[in-house]
Amino acid sequence: MASSSIASIQKSFTYDVFLSFRGEDTRTNFIDHLYEALQQQGIYTYKDDEAIRKGKRISDELISSIKDSKFYIIVFSKNYASSAWCLDELVMIMGCHKTTEHTAYPIFYDVEPTEVRKQSGAVGKAFVKHENDEAAGKWKEALKETADLAGWELKNTANGHEAKLIQKVIEEISLQLRSIDFNADEKLIGMETRVKDAVSSLEIGTDDVRVIGIKGMGGVGKTTLARVVFDQISFQFEAKSFVENVRENSNTSLCGLKSLQNQVLKDVLFDQGNVNSVHDGKIMMKKMRNKKTLLVLDDVDHIDQLEALAGDLNWFKPGSRIIITTRDEQVLVAHRVKLILDVNLLSEEEAICLFSRYAFGGEIPIQGYEDLSEQVVRYAAGLPLTIKVLGSFLCGKNESEWIDALERLKTIPLKETLQKLELSYISLEEDYKEIFLNVACLLKRWSKPVVIEALESCGFHATNGLKVLEQKSLITITRKPFEFVHMHDHIEEMGRNIVRRLHPDKPQKHSRLYIQFQLMGGNFEMVMKGLRKMKELRFLHISRNTRYNFAEERKYANVSQYFPNALQYLCCKEYPFKSLPPTFQANNLVALKMAQSEIVQLWEGGERKVLNKLKSLDLGHSKLTTLDLELSPNLETLSLSGCRDLVQLHMLNGCRQLKSIDLSYSKLTTLDLGSSPNLEVLSLNGCYDLVQLHMLNGCRKLKAIDLSESKLKTIDLRPAVNLELLHLKGCNALVKLCLPNGCLKLISVNLSGSKLKTIDLHSCVNLKLLDLEDCNALVELHMPGRCLNLRSLTLTNSQLRNVDIGWTPNLEDLDLNNSYDLEDLHMADKCLKLTSLNISHSKLKTLDLGLTPNLKKLDLKECKNLVQLHVPIGCLENLVYLNLRGCLGFTSFMVDKRNVASSRRDESLEIGPSAESHLIAKSLERCPLHPDNTLRQFQFECFYIDDPSVTRNLEKLISEGLCACTNLETLSESIFGLRCLRMLKLEGYPEAPKDLDRVECLEELSFSRTNMKHLPDSICMLKHLEILQLKDCWSLEKLPEDLGRLEYLETLYLSNAKIEHLPDSICMLKHLRTLTLFRCCSLKTLPKDLGKLEHLAWLNLSSLIIKHLPDTICMLKYLECLRLDDCKLLEKLPEDLDQLERLEQLDLGECKILQDIPIGICKMKCLKWLNVAGTSISRLPHDICFLKGMRISGSRDLLQSCGFTSEIQTFEHTCFVDV
């Protein structure tokens, strides 16, 4: 693959955004706010200064700024087109916009797109003075082109809110800046052409299975290229898998290839099973032939790896694509890969750009460093990794430091990449150097927490050190799904080379050693004897990568005597000896990890040694029988999990620093924690012989305790006031449990299988999970009155007669199965999140589900005493399963979920997914939801898609969507329990509903032809309500005084009501856009602060008996329509009516006594229709004839008096003229 040219480098701009605007219109308001918002978001924006606008044509400075801006925001205002400067600016902008590098966005501030496009209206008036200008043609074309672009119109965006419009602009520009191809990412310099070539080679549209290889030297960008291609095209495939570091992971152990096969199967097939062998893995890989798959195998170095992961093209569905990266071309040839792409080094131009990004933060060297930069780039020879490291190292250095670094390169030639990378190491402080070398030699690919533990055991400040190394580009830390420390191969080699050079002839001086049995050729004795001379060794990690046979090595009885006494960190998994040798003093040991070892006792002959510095001890799954911790006073973590021979542990008062103890599956019979004031975690899970546990009052920090499957009869946890997790599952002998007086932090309790008769959890108010399964001796349970966080409660197979779970609003799962003695269950009135309820085989007689709209499963089988079930309709909203089998007083039927949506067009009741009911046993003679139909009936609209015939004998309930048996009392209990209801229309409803606030998600509410005298105050709690309609409510006399609390109300419609006044709070409805008070004939006055309805666009006051309007009405700057027709007592209009500059319609028809119209109406340039028919107005202002595009309706005499004669038209007895 040829190296991409410099043209592939993403152009950078001086400015992100250039603002074009007319200063006198918008500079001090909208533009200032927009500019400030852009700057705050880090979007570098050009806004010109008034001082530079001199002359008739734009300056060179502005031309340069336009060319150096990525995005243009053109703010069209009324006077924009009056400025030749602005128009020239626009021509230049549109010229740049036509290239692929620039994008323009128009904002129509106080003009419409059509006005800009056609130079009409305000824009036309502003442009008229340029009609004879020689540049008028290109200006018009630029205006037309810009008006056709996607942008924003203030009045139609965010309800005219300037702040919201600015936010939308910010979001769009920010999104575009992030999505620019290869958005100045230093890793992607020179990648554009390579990516295009790779994607082109894949020919994704064809149906064959295609394999391409990507080869090149280490650090050249093979993985980066594969990752970019993968991210760019993966959405076109049914499955995808990116397998990183194949060479490294497959060579780690014989299980390496199996683990990689598992990864591919999991990614592609979501298969969680384990591959038993590579051969079995190959067979399982054939399952992928049913999915069009994108597979990337990164850093392959052996044909076996390809045969295991992509051995046969028949494994893959046609259309699949496989990408293989490798340093060895022969691997691809042997696998018969036909298309191989070379990833070459960067060109000089690309290398300069990449280097400059790291060294200077730009794309070219700063002045004075051009020659030095070229020398560095020549030395790096186009290797991206080397360029990146050198750029980071030299960033911020002065010229003399650059020269010195380059001179050093000349005097100490570095022939290999690893040597070139050492400059970054040189800049580190001494302790960071040591951390780096430890990572390079030992800790690469370890999880970050383990790396930190290992480094801290050697006295390093690990967290800060790793951060420094990451910033220096010496390591990377993956963060998903877990944090692991990684290092590039060449950097790792460089680090190890440094260690080798430190003491080339004196290996005994080395402080760290990593031994891999696989590399030792079985000569364990020789290697271990070699440790004798390494007096300064501090870090020793012995790893077994094969099933190495230690049986032969055990004959060397003294082989382990060679552990150096300076060791601080010792890890030797599967250590083959029964104890540590007496010659190993271990005075400096901080961490000892010998899991799965043969150790029976820590020290040979039962010797007791002081280990003052030991903090972490892991002998898990060893053959340890006894352990004395009295002489390890600073131990913090103890893991003896799986030590099945452990029968005795001495700790008493010597372990005051212990934070975590894991003794799971040991043979301990007693445990005395002594004084352990810092203990936080105690795990004794599976200690089947444990019969005694002693805790002193010092264990106050204990957070988690697991004593599952133990034989403890009594447990006293009163000192553990900070307990969060308590797991005592399977403690079949447990008869007494003492908890702290206040368990405010306890969130998870599992006491399943215990023999407790009484459980008192009244103070556990923060419980999330409570499992009391199979507590068959339980007769008394005390729950908190309020348990707001409880999610799951299991109480199966108990002897409880009464259960009161208190106030549990977040409960999701309640299981009382096989509670044969249960007679009484008290649940909260509202369990809005409850999805599953099982009370089968109980003695309940009645059950009231309360408000449970998300209930999916209800199991009441074999509740033979159950005679009454209260099920609000809201419960059926999401119901999937209902079992009443064996409930002799009930009809048993199953409920299967159906997707049913109501029609907003029909203004129907929207209840979401419904239920299709199938009758199984005897037929129903009455509606099960409304058995007592005694009150006055009414009907509500409720449309379903279901065929009514499928409901058989339940047709009374939902036949054709009409529940004819619903009465007023049950309405509040059922329909108003539908929490997710969005729309409700009630017609002929006789009186006010009581519980409207329960329908908390309601967005539209409509009453028509009702006899209500007032709306209930509860309506003001509907915080999501957007539309409120009260049509023909003849008896309605009053609206709630707190109506203004409906902060999102957009439409308020009242007609034919007896309301005499509106509540003052109505003026607080800042989102109200439409207000209709049609034929409210008792309404004499309007609120004086009506002008505070700042977003009101439509005001209908037809047929009112008002005499005048409040003066504040002139403050409604967004009002487009004002209807005052048939206001027969209206005497005058406000003098400042012309302030309604956006008013398009003014209807004064049949205002019989209205005689005058304000002269300022001639200034209302947006006015499109004026109706004065049927008024006493005798003349109109003379200048009204200049309001072009307006229609005036009125008497013929009136129109003629204004000079309109031939223009008068007639339609249905109404005269009008189009101005």
Catalytic positions, written as ranges: 89
Residues forming a β-bridge with 916:
896
Q: Is the dihedral of CA 454, 460, 461, 463 positive or negative?
A: negative
Read off the tokens for 1079: 């034929």
- Distances in Å between the alpha carbon of 174 and those of 70, 181, 800? 12, 14, 60
What's the Cα-to-Cα distance from 206 to each of 193, 200, 294, 319, rounded to whole Å?
Answer: 22, 11, 14, 6
Q: Estimate to the nearest angstrom the gap between the alpha carbon of 1207 and the chain centroid.
A: 63
Q: What is the 3-state secondary structure (H, E, C) of 978-1011?
A: CCCCCEEEEECCCCCCCCHHHCCCCCEEEEECCC
In what helix (H) or strand (E) does residue 352 lie, and over which residues does it extend? Answer: helix 348-359
Q: How far is CA 651 from CA 485, 583, 703, 707, in A?
A: 35, 25, 20, 19
Round to whole Å and give the CA distance between 507 and 164.
Answer: 69
Q: 725-727 and 637-639 as β-strands: parallel, antiparallel, unpaired?
A: unpaired
**Exposed, middle or buried: residue 430 (CB in 10 Å: 0-12, 13-18, 19+)?**
exposed
Phi, psi for residue 747 in degrees, rounded to 5: -120, -20
Q: What is the rounded distance in angstroms from the CA atom of residue 843 to the CA atom of residue 840?
A: 9
> Are the C-beta atoms of residues 631 and 609 closer than 8 Å to each other?
yes
CA geometry: angle 79, 80, 86, nearest 5 deg: 140
Handedness of CA 1043, 1044, 1046, 1052 (dihedral sign): positive
Contact predicate 1213/1190, CB 8 Å: no
According to DSSP, the β-strands at 1191-1194 and 339-342 are unpaired
CB-hemisphere CA count at 13 Å for 913? 13
d(CA 870, CA 872): 6
Concatenated DSSP letters for 1132-1147? ---TTGGG-TT--EEE
In 1076-1204, where does DSSP find H-type helix?
Answer: 1196-1201
Is residue 130 helix, strand or coil?
A: helix
CA distances from 299 to 226, 247, 302, 483, 585 (A): 11, 6, 10, 21, 44
**Is residue 692 helix, strand or coil?**
strand
Q: How far apart are the first and last CA of the chain?
A: 70
Matching residue, tokens 């409805």? 1069
**Cα 97 to Cα 71: distance, rounded to the nearest angstrom:** 9
Q: Hey, what are 25's tokens? A: 């219109």
Closest CA to 860 of 878, 837, 827, 880: 837
Amino acid at 655: C
Give the CA distances from residue 92 to residues 62, 98, 567, in Å, rounded to whole numbers and listed in that order.
10, 10, 72
At residue 603, the 3 state secondary structure works out as: strand
For the purposes of burial, counting CB atoms within 10 Å of the CB of 420, is it exposed (0-12), middle (13-18) or buried (19 or more)?
buried
Q: For the chain, what's the residue count? A: 1219
CA dist 146 and 736 (Å) reads 81
